[in-house]
Amino acid sequence: MGIATDLITVMLAALLGAIIARALKQPYILGYILGGMLVGPYTAGPTVSGDGQHNIELLSNIGVALLLFALGLDFTLKKLKPVRVIALIGTPAQVALTMAAGWGIAYYVLEWTSIQAVWFGAFMAFSNTMMILKTLENRGQMGTYISAIMVGILIMQDICTIPLLVILPTLSMVGEGLLPVAWALGKGALFLVAMFVLGTRLIPWVLSIVASAQSRELFMLACSTIGLGVGYATFLLGLSFPFGAFVAGVLISESDYARQALGDIAPMRDLFCMLFFASIGMLINFEFIIENIIPVLELTVAIILVKGFIFWLVATILRIRQQKALMIGFGMYSIGELSFLLASIAEESQIITDKQYSLILAAAILTMLLTPLTFKIAPLAYKLCKKAFRLENIETESYQASGRKDHVIIVGSGRVGVAIASILTEFLIPFVMIEYNLPAFLAAKQKGYPIIFGDAAVQEVYDTADPADAQLTLVTAPATTGCFPLIQNIRSRYSNMKIIASVNSDDQIEQLKACGVDVMINPILEASLEMTRLALEHFDVEDRNIGSMLSAYRIKQYTSGQLLPQIDETEGNSS
């Protein structure tokens, strides 16, 4: 079956590696690399080599482009504003200093050529987003100020990667003069101007037309085509394929469609990224690593010490408190996902040898494995420094990037959602709405309500509403098959979130209760009860009798206790 057999082999190996990584509480990236090693040409057993390996590497390029496209979609200057000093000033300084230090290690210690040393410096400069975020999450530090600093640095590092993707491939032509480098930069600048002049108008217009069709399949196809199409356009211009995909993502990022686009391409991005990291694993010569274990360990230690010191130094110069500066130094030295991209480009371009490639990949994997351990060491190092230098006390203050807190998430901006928003506005209760129907979204936006475009069942869309800081979620549309994934996602990830949902039939009550909904409301039943109350009042039935009767009938119809708050029987209010 040709490439189909190779794909299935790689996917099975990656699945096995991911299961092992999860069991060891490691990021899936390591599992994918392990899976690639298992089926690579350097190991016994089922292998993917020759044309099959080449085909997997070609497909993995799509994963790289989609990864950069997603980074562009998720990029916004608002994320950097609270930590703008360390992000906008400190990160470029850290990248430049680390590249210089990496060049020195490769050129003087490893005795690589000057061009190879530059590539190694770039490889060493960037940190591993998945590893750092997972470690912060496991330590319960997500949402703290130190996590905000680290996320800001990681975002800015991603931005710093883009010019390197344009410049580094031209360095081998420096012997011909600076014209190739200048020409590459010139083409990149012209492309950016053209995209921001034309793309900022054309791409959102296209997406608005596609979104009006109310088809997730069509929307996902349009987003993927834009990201990969713009990337291919830059490739035809002699620039980096991922560079164009990133630019396309940035152009969409400030539109109303960014979160839905990010959510729709995420599964396809993850699948192709798996192929990318598995293809990296295929190129790792495990026998070489065993034979050269001492150089691998020495290089790993050098990366940790040098890169960690640079992070600490930059943070200290920018007057970050020593507690946080040490956390940054001990936690951000790991080699990043985009560093693997740079290494693969250098290897494919024959700038570095297979042995050099295996050496730096082995060191990179070790830095990832050691990150959780050194995170634990950071507080101990801080306590020692505190005694020696009388530093400030440890702080773990919380941090809200968006400013939303104790708010209500309203899923749906139809008539019910807009009515709720109007009343909450009167009482000054903060809220944010989520809507996938374009006309309803635009109508609510025109009223000035805070609203996010997208399907709330998509994790990336719902997370934009800051559910970790919200009080409750109101699912205003009557329950359909589409709302069950949303409710299951909320309950699995935000166990303390109170959920109030609308149902349109009695048989949905048990289903929603099983999903974890706290309160269920049947609009038809509630309308009938209210009309009944008005009719009984017309015939001068006592309010107390009306209230007790309607309360008993409501409980009977919902067939479960405490599905709705008890009504006030003295006043006869039903809703």
Distance CA 476, CA 300 (A): 53
CA trace torsion 467, 471, 475, 479 (10° rounding): 90
Q: 514 or 183: which carries more pLDDT confidence?
A: 514
Q: Which phi-psi region, left, alpha or beta, contains residue 64 (left: φ > 0; alpha: ψ -120 to 50)?
A: alpha
Domains along the chain with CATH numbers = 3-386 (1.20.1530.20), 407-521 (3.40.50.720)
Q: Is the pLDDT of residue 534 over 80?
A: yes
CA-wise closest residue to 224 among 95, 96, 65: 65
Cα 230 to Cα 58, 181, 193, 335, 414: the distances in Å are 18, 22, 14, 28, 35
Q: What is the pLDDT of residue 160?
A: 85
Residue type, 130: M
Residues in contact with 338: Cβ distance below 8 Å, sequence separation at least 6, in sequence order: 126, 157, 158, 161
Average pLDDT over residues 146-159: 83
Q: Is the pLDDT of residue 333 over 60?
A: yes
DSSP secondary structure string for all residues of 154-171:
HHHHHHHHHHHHHHGGGG
For 29-186, strand residue ranges (E) read: none
* pLDDT tens, residue by residue, 554-569: 777 765 544 444 444 4
Residue ranges of alpha helices (H) inside 213-257 are 216-236, 241-253
Q: What is the pLDDT of residue 570?
A: 42
pTM over 0.95: no
Q: 397 or 490: which carries more pLDDT confidence?
A: 490
Q: Is the pLDDT of residue 170 over 70?
A: yes
Angle (CA) 455-456-458 rounded to 5° is 75
CB 194 within 8 Å of CB 180 = no
Q: Is the pLDDT of residue 86 over 80?
A: yes
Distance CA 336, CA 132 (A): 10
CB 276 within 8 Å of CB 28 = no
CB 567 within 8 Å of CB 547 = yes
| Paired strand residues for 394 | none
With residue 435 as reference, give the H or E element that holds it: strand 431-435
Q: Is the pLDDT of residue 400 over 60?
A: no
User: Percent of the chain, pLDDT > 70?
Assistant: 86
Distance CA 449, CA 442 (A): 10
Q: Is the pLDDT of residue 300 over 80?
A: yes
Q: What is the mean pLDDT of the chain?
A: 81
CB 412 within 8 Å of CB 433 = yes
Q: What backbone torsions phi and psi does residue 110 show, to the nearest 5 degrees?
A: -85, -15
Q: Is the pLDDT of residue 396 over 50?
A: no
Rg (CA), the chain: 28
Angle (CA) 94-87-401 rounded to 5° is 150
The total of other beta-carbon atoms located within 10 Å of residue 222's CB is 21
Q: Is the pLDDT of residue 116 over 80?
A: yes
- Range with top average pLDDT, 233-247, 451-465, 507-521: 451-465
Going by pLDDT thresholds of 50, 70 and 90, the confidence category of residue 112 is very high
CB 292 within 8 Å of CB 359 = yes
- Here the tokens at position 17 are 């590696």
Average pLDDT over residues 510-529: 80
CA-wise closest residue to 485 among 469, 519, 461: 461
User: Percent of the chain, pLDDT > 90?
Assistant: 22
The number of angstroms, rounded, from the C-alpha of 100 to the middle of its chain's C-alpha atoms is 29
Distance CA 503, CA 520 (A): 7
Q: Is the pLDDT of residue 264 over 80?
A: yes
Least confident of 110-114, 151-155, 356-360: 151-155
Q: 104 or 457: which carries more pLDDT confidence?
A: 104
Q: Is the pLDDT of residue 391 over 60?
A: no
Cα 351 to Cα 286, 344, 560: the distances in Å are 21, 10, 69
Q: What is the pLDDT of residue 165?
A: 78
Residues in contact with 265: Cβ distance below 8 Å, sequence separation at least 6, in sequence order: 66, 69, 70, 73, 220, 223, 224, 227
